[in-house]
Amino acid sequence: MPNPLAEARDLLARANRILAHEGVLDAFGHVTMRHPTDPGRYLMSYSRAPELVHADDILEFTLDSQPVKQIDMRLYGERVIHGGVYLARPEVNAVCHHHAPSVMPFCISGEELKPVNHLGATMGDRAPFWDARDEFGNTNLIVAKPEEGASLARALGPHWIVLMRRHGATVAGKTLQELVFRTIYVSRNAAQQLQAHTLGHVSPLTPEETAMAGEYNLRPSPIARAWEYWSVRLDKVEGVKPRAKRKTAATHRPKRKAKRWRR
170, 148 contact by CB (below 8 A):
no
Cβ atoms within 10 Å, residue 105: 15
Please report the pLDDT score of residue 148 as a whole number: 98
Examine the pLDDT at 228 and tell me if it is beyond 50: yes
Q: Edge-to-edge, what's the strand order for the sheet holding 41-45? A: 58-62, 41-45, 30-34, 94-98, 168-173, 161-164, 129-130
Residue 248: predicted pLDDT:
42
State whether residue 104 is helix, strand or coil: helix
CATH code for the domain defined by 4-237: 3.40.225.10
Distance CA 159, CA 145 (A): 22
Question: What Å distances lie between residue 248 and 34, 153, 218, 230, 245, CA to CA?
Answer: 33, 44, 23, 21, 9
User: At residue 257, does pLDDT exceed 60?
Assistant: no
Q: Is the pLDDT of residue 251 over 90?
A: no
Residue 66 pLDDT exceeds 60 = yes
Query: Which residue type is seen at 249?
Result: A
| Type of residue at 247 | K
* pTM, two decimal places: 0.90
Q: Are 180 and 119 in contact (CB under 8 A)?
A: no
Mean pLDDT of 199-218: 97
Mean pLDDT of 45-55: 98
Length of the chain: 263
Rounded to an integer, what distance in angstroms lies between the CA atom of residue 151 and that of residue 135? 8
Q: Apex CA 219: angle with CA 206 and CA 161, to 5°?
A: 55
Tell me, what's the pLDDT at 255?
A: 46
Which positions are annotated as active-site residues?
78
Cα separation values, 31 from 4, 173, 230, 247, Å: 18, 11, 16, 33
pLDDT of residue 261: 42
Over the stretch 3-36, which tens digit does the pLDDT of each residue have? 999 999 999 999 999 999 999 999 999 999 999 9
Q: What is the pLDDT of residue 245?
A: 55
Lowest mean per-residue pLDDT among 68-77, 110-119, 224-233, 243-252: 243-252
| Extents of the domains making up the chain | 4-237
Q: Are strands 94-98 and 30-34 parallel, antiparallel or unpaired?
A: antiparallel
